[in-house]
């Protein structure tokens, strides 16, 4: 029985692990798991059965996660696991609850039978020694061959990748904690939690925001995967294509983001909190889960202090990566997710979300308080291999690019048209109201990696990603006014890191910067629009420490 269980585990690992290194590391992980169970239950049969169940379960969870996020399971999934994770899983896979119950009902009697027939007993000294040896070997292998950033996105090597990520996570947390920050020290920013009225009186020149001053309604529009594709050589676009990326003053501005072809939530963190995802190092993929309830400094919070009511129209379930808790912590007063909008699919035409915004304004604008709305567009999400809603462009003519590129551009033209319709509706329906819209691309589409430098080899492309080559991390941001001319565009630099967007929209709206954003603006001016990369991260680490000391970042 014990032999059969071990052979079954070997078969599972050989079927899911690829390459001598991954297979060796996964086998060491298997030995590690067995020894761990033997320390608690010194029965080789039941220990092998529990280890096999654990391995199969982890692989199943890793595959499921990869299907949703294109990333395999890592140790951090267990270090920061929360009820949002389970809630999201049950939302996207309703049968999962029943499947888990059935699996438990079947597993319990099977384990009981193995327990009864498992007559062999082992001491604890040998398993403890083997456990220590495998821990050393696994750590040495993980350090000798560090996991590359692209490896978790391959959908293979689930067990070896999980083991290697454990070494990375422990090393990271031991050296810098969850977020990079300077050691505790007194600084110029001493901002306790609360409103402007509770600011430390020892801080000079602190003004209270005038909540009675007339201000425009603010809309921050996340334009999924959007950038000016003419940056790629030889791409054909329709006439006037690039006009969409220009601001009300006629300028076309570049936004530097922290992801390429992937995680939208990096940009969410940037524009809502003014922080850098790169400050979280190897943990940045989980940045919204880490920040949820722990980062209370944010653009929505600052706007609340100036009398704004804050809303978010979120295009999927709010439990996804703890988005609801993260955004509420940053100051979003009313979080409206996919379920609240009455749909069960997160990829909707852009018009759907524009209509949601118009409906919200229709219900809320009788109030005298201005509104801040963070909204998303999703129709330009990957994949572009199939034509999404061809009925939206009945007169579309292919441009002669590759099929994916043409589809990407076609969806962008739909976005541009429906955005114009949206602003026209706002101007028509609310002639006595003013609006300021800041829209931006959250990251480039994955196809840009094949377009910007045609023929580039995979190794060179990986190097570009590792060094944050601006060609692959630049999108756009633009400001538009409806019955409103931006008050101050001096912070809207031609090229700007996404973490400074909160400063741009506040100054353009004529909103007084609170002391934390005023301090960050000084960094922006010193570093000419660069945030995390300025002085090799020194400015970002200093600023993170100031926010920690001010109580605006807690428990990290």
> Average pLDDT, stretch 238-251?
96
Under DSSP, the state recorded for 223 is E
The superfamily in CATH containing domain 214-549 is Alkaline Phosphatase, subunit A (3.40.720.10)
pLDDT, position 11: 92
Are the beta carbons of 191 and 200 closer than 8 angstroms? yes
- Comparing CA positions, the residue from 415, 388, 408 lying closest to residue 451 is 408
pLDDT at residue 435 in the model: 97
Tell me: the pLDDT tens digits for 60-90?
888 877 776 667 877 777 766 666 566 666 6
- Name, in order, each residue with C-beta under 8 angstroms of 147's C-beta and a sequence gap of 6 or more: 161, 164, 165, 168
**Chain-centre distance of CA 227, in angstroms?**
18
Confidence of residue 123 (pLDDT cuts 50, 70, 90): confident
Grade residue 150 by pLDDT with cuts at 50, 70 and 90. low
What is the SS3 string spanning 242-296?
HHHHECCCCCEEEEECCCCCCCHHHHHHHHHHCCCHHHHHHHHHHHHHHHCCCEC
Of residues 185 and 258, which shows the higher confidence score? 258
Q: Read off the pLDDT band of 336 (50, 70, 90).
A: very high
**pLDDT at residue 355, as a whole number:** 97
Q: What pLDDT shows up at residue 202?
A: 44
Residue 308: per-residue pLDDT? 95
Average pLDDT, the chain: 87
CA angle 512, 224, 406 (to 5 degrees): 140
Residues 432-455 have pLDDT tens digits of 999 999 999 999 998 998 899 998
Least confident of 182-196, 212-226, 522-536: 182-196
Question: Confidence class of residue 165 from pLDDT cuts 50, 70 and 90?
Answer: confident
Distance CA 155, CA 66 (A): 6
Beta strands in 299-428 (DSSP E): 309-313, 334-336, 371-377
Bigger pLDDT: 528 vs 99: 528
pLDDT over 60 at 201, yes or no: no
Q: What is the DSSP string of 411-477?
A: HHHHHHHHHHHHHHHHHHH-TT--EEEEEEESS--TTHHHHSSTT--HHHHHHHHHTT-GGGSB--E
Domain ranges of the chain: 2-176, 214-549
| pLDDT one-digit tens code per residue, 252-289 | 999 999 988 878 999 999 999 999 999 998 788 889 98
| Per-residue model confidence (pLDDT) at position 186 | 56
Helix (H/G/I), strand (E/B), else coil: 94: coil
Q: What is the mean pLDDT of the segment spanning 222-249?
A: 96
For residue 110, is pLDDT > 90? no
Using DSSP, state whether 345 is helix, strand or coil.
coil
What pTM value is reported for the model? 0.83
Answer yes or no: is pLDDT of 203 > 50.
no
For 356-372, the pLDDT digits (tens) are: 999 999 999 877 899 99
Which positions ≥6 away from 322 have C-beta within 8 Å?
82, 84, 288, 289, 292
Sign of the alpha-carbon torsion through 189, 193, 199, 200: negative
- Joined together, the tokens standing for residue 178 give 């969850």
- pLDDT-derived band of residue 425, with 50, 70 and 90 as boundaries? very high
More confident of the two residues 96 and 237: 237
Question: Residue 246 — φ and ψ, nearest 5°?
Answer: -95, 150
Between residues 199 and 520, the one the model is more confident about: 520
């Amino acid at each position: 029985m014990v032999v059969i269980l071990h052979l079954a585990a070997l078969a599972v690992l050989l079927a899911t692990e690829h390459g001598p290194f991954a297979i060796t590391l996964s086998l060491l992980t298997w030995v590690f798991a067995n020894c761990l169970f033997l320390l608690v239950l010194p029965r080789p049969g039941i220990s092998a059965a529990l280890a096999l169940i654990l391995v199969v379960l982890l692989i199943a969870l890793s595959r499921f996660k990869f299907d949703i996020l294109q990333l395999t399971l890592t140790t951090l999934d267990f270090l920061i696991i929360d009820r949002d994770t389970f809630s999201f899983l049950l939302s996207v896979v309703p049968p999962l609850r029943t499947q888990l119950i059935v699996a438990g009902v079947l597993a319990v009697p099977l384990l009981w039978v193995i327990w009864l027939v498992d007559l062999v007993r082992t001491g604890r000294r040998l398993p403890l020694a083997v456990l220590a040896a495998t821990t050393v070997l696994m750590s040495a292998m993980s350090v000798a061959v560090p996991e590359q950033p692209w490896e978790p996105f391959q959908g293979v090597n689930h067990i070896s990748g999980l083991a290697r990520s454990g070494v990375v996570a422990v090393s990271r947390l031991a050296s810098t904690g969850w977020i990079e920050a300077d050691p505790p020290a007194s600084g110029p920013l001493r901002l306790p939690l609360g409103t402007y009225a509770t600011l430390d009186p020892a801080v000079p020149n602190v003004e209270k925001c005038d909540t009675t001053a007339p201000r425009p309604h603010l809309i921050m529009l996340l334009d999924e995967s959007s950038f000016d594709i003419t940056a790629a050589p030889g791409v054909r676009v329709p006439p006037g294509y690039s006009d969409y990326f220009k601001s009300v003053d006629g300028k076309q501005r570049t936004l530097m983001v922290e992801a390429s072809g992937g995680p939208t939530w990096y940009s969410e963190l940037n524009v809502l909190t003014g922080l850098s995802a790169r400050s979280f190092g190897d943990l940045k993929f989980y940045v919204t889960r880490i920040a949820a309830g722990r980062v209370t400094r944010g653009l929505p919070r600052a706007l609340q202090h100036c009398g704004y009511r804050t809303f978010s129209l979120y295009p999927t379930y709010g439990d996804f990566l703890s988005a609801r808790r993260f955004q509420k912590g940053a100051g979003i007063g009313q979080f409206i997710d996919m379920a609240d909008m009455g749909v069960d699919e997160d990829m909707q035409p852009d018009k759907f979300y524009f209509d949601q915004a118009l409906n919200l304004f229709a219900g809320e604008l009788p109030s005298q308080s201005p509104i801040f709305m963070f909204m998303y567009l999703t129709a330009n999400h990957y994949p572009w291999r199939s034509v999404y809603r061809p009925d939206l462009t009945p007169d579309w003519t292919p441009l002669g690019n590759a099929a994916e590129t043409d589809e990407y551009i076609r969806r962008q033209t739909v976005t541009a048209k429906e955005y114009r319709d949206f602003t026209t509706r706002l101007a028509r329906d609310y002639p006595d109201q003013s609006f300021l819209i800041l829209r931006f691309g959250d990251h480039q589409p994955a196809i840009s990696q094949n377009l910007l430098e045609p023929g580039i080899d995979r190794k060179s492309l990986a190097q570009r990603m590792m060094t944050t080559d601006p060609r692959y991390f630049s999108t756009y941001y633009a400001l538009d006014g409806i019955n409103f001319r931006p008050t101050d565009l001096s912070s809207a630099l031609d090229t700007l890191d996404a973490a400074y967007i909160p400063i741009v929209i506040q100054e353009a709206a004529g909103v007084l910067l609170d002391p934390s954003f005023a301090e960050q603006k000084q960094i922006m001016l010193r570093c000419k629009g660069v945030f995390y990369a300025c002085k090799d991260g020194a400015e970002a680490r200093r600023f993170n420490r100031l926010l920690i000391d001010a109580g605006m970042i807690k428990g990290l």
